């Protein structure tokens, strides 16, 4: 079997990625938020140019799949009309910013995020997947999500922390983005082809003590489908948002905006809690702890179809389930209680590990898996 190819970059709007069903075009919402009009417009574009589904990624971005190459430029024109496109491709590439979704308009998280967006042009050259997290609410929500430089709160105040070290440096709001850019420059001057993420670099080279010393605050509870002060959270199985159903839910609920998260959850800002068959509304639903990539034939590197198997097995697995079409494990970078990896039309089984780990059993069919004890 040919080893899967790690691209080393993520698709964007200006630079889409070809997949088995056409182009994958990624939209990066600013402040993790789309006004209702923008979200409804994106739903229409998913049906007009894509496969009718919007993908919610683990970097809190939105993707249209199945876009024909000839439709790429017309799609960009429509995205620009919705103010969902950076005019400069270089800025789009740098706008890898995770935002804690419970921020209030104009609060510290919103202010810091907007300043970082405004100053992306001041950043040095960085690897394509290098990213930032603005996690300055009362409790940290993004600690387990991929980011290289983090702004967080501590008992002492606002801190800037390099991913991979336990403490950060105390900063004022006025100087926070200046210090973030300085830390990015330190990384840019020191990383190698083998250390293209912050955690790998600080494991290989000591981070100067000036960037350390203050521990971040507590980690908050995981968010679940249901109501909150800002509106209602809805889950998206495998990160899939059926465009027509999403548009109907936005309009029926009266939501003013849609916020995205890295956890297969969307927040309909100001939206009422409604029954929604196309979405997950129960936090105990096993689909909320199940990850599955698009699989074959949608991904050319996948060795097998994934999502039907994932749906069938989800109620039978206690804990996290990851069904991956190949050993890359794009849908879940971390370990799962049960991981199934596509290989030559069958699945290999990994217990308490990642897709690239050594399997304990090989060559399993979906039918065989349904009869097995996977606990």
Structural domains in the chain plus CATH codes? 17-91+223-269 (3.90.480.10), 103-211 (no CATH), 286-370 (3.30.413.10)
Are 260 and 62 contacting, i.e. CB atoms less than 8 angstroms apart?
yes
Backbone angles phi, psi at 351, to 5 degrees: -100, 130
Three-class secondary structure assignment of the chain: CCCCCCCCCCCCCCCCEEECCEEEEEECCHHHEEEHHHHHHHHHHHHHHCCCEEEECCCCCEEEEEECHHHHHHHHHHHHHCCCCCCCHHHHHHCCEEECCCCCCCCHHHHHHHHHHHCHHHCCCCCCCCCEEEECCCCECCCCCCCCEEEEEECCEEEEEECCCCCEEECCHHHHHHHHHHHHHHHHHHCCCCCCCHHHHHHHCCCCHHHCCECCCCECCCCCCEEECCEEEEECHHHEEEHHHHHHHHHHHCCCEEEECCCCEEEEECCCCCCCCCCECCCCCHHHHEEECCCCCCCCCCCCCCHHHHHHHHHHCCCCEEEECCCCCCCCCCCEEEEEEEECCEEEEEEEECCCCCCCEEEECHHHHHCCCCC
Backbone angles phi, psi at 267, to 5 degrees: -110, 120
Q: Beta-carbon neighbour count of residue 3 at 10 Å?
A: 9
pLDDT at 375: 78
pLDDT at 20: 83
Residue 85's nearest CA partner among 180, 16, 177, 167 is 16
Cα–Cα distances (Å) from 246 to 135, 223, 254, 277, in that order, read 27, 20, 12, 11
Residues 359, 365, 369, 374, Cα dihedral to 10°: 0
pLDDT at 1: 45
pLDDT at 9: 52
Residue 100's nearest CA partner among 88, 90, 108 is 108
Q: How far apart are the first and last CA of the chain?
A: 29
Q: From CA 150, how far away is CA 140, in angstroms rounded?
A: 11
Query: Dmax over Cα atoms in the chain, in whole Å?
Result: 59
Angle between helices 36-49 and 243-253 (to 10 degrees): 160
pTM: 0.91
CB proximity list for 120: less than 8 A, separation 6 or greater: 91, 94, 95
Tens-digit pLDDT string for the chain (375 aa): 445 544 555 788 888 989 888 999 999 999 999 999 999 999 999 999 999 999 999 999 999 999 999 999 999 999 999 999 988 878 888 899 999 999 999 999 999 999 999 999 999 999 989 999 999 999 999 999 999 999 999 999 999 999 999 999 999 999 999 999 999 999 999 999 999 999 999 999 999 999 999 999 999 999 999 999 999 999 999 999 999 999 999 999 999 999 999 999 999 999 999 999 999 999 999 999 999 999 998 888 899 999 999 999 999 998 899 999 999 998 888 899 999 999 999 999 999 999 999 999 999 999 999 999 887
């Amino acid at each position: 079997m040919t080893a899967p190819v790690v691209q080393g970059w993520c698709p964007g709007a200006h630079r889409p990625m070809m997949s088995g069903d056409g182009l994958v075009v990624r939209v990066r919402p600013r402040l993790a938020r789309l006004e209702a009009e923008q979200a409804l417009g994106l739903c229409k574009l998913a049906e007009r140019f894509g496969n009718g589904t919007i993908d919610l990624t683990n970097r809190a971005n939105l993707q249209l799949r199945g876009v024909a190459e000839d439709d790429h430029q017309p799609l960009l024109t429509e995205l620009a009309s919705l103010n969902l496109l950076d005019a400069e491709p270089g800025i789009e590439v740098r706008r890898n910013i995770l935002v804690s979704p419970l921020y209030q308009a104009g609060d510290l998280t919103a202010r810091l995020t907007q300043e970082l967006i405004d100053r992306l042009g001041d950043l040095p050259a960085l690897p394509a997947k290098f990213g930032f997290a603005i996690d300055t609410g009362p409790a940290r929500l993004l600690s387990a999500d991929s980011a290289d430089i983090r702004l967080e709160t501590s008992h002492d105040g606002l801190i800037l922390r390099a991913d991979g070290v336990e403490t950060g440096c105390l900063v004022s709001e006025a100087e926070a983005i200046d210090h973030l850019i300085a830390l990015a420059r330190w990384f840019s001057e020191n990383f190698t082809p083998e250390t293209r993420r912050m955690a790998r670099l600080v494991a290989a080279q000591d981070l100067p003590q000036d960037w350390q010393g203050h521990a971040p605050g507590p980690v908050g509870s995981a968010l679940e489908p249901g109501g909150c002060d800002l509106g209602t959270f809805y889950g998206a199985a495998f990160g899939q948002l059926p465009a027509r159903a999403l548009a109907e839910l936005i309009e029926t609920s009266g939501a003013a905006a849609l916020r995205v998260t890295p956890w297969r959850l969307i927040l309909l800002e100001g939206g009422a809690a409604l029954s929604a068959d196309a979405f997950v509304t129960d936090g105990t639903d096993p689909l909320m702890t199940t990850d599955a990539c698009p699989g074959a034939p949608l991904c050319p590197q996948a060795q097998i179809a994934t999502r039907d198997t994932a749906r069938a097995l989800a109620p039978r697995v206690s804990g996290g389930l990851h069904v991956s079409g190949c050993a890359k494990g794009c849908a879940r970078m971390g370990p799962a209680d049960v991981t199934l990896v596509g290989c030559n039309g069958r699945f290999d089984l990994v217990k308490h590990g990642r897709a690239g780990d050594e399997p304990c059993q090989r060559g399993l069919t979906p039918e065989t898996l349904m009869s097995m004890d996977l606990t």
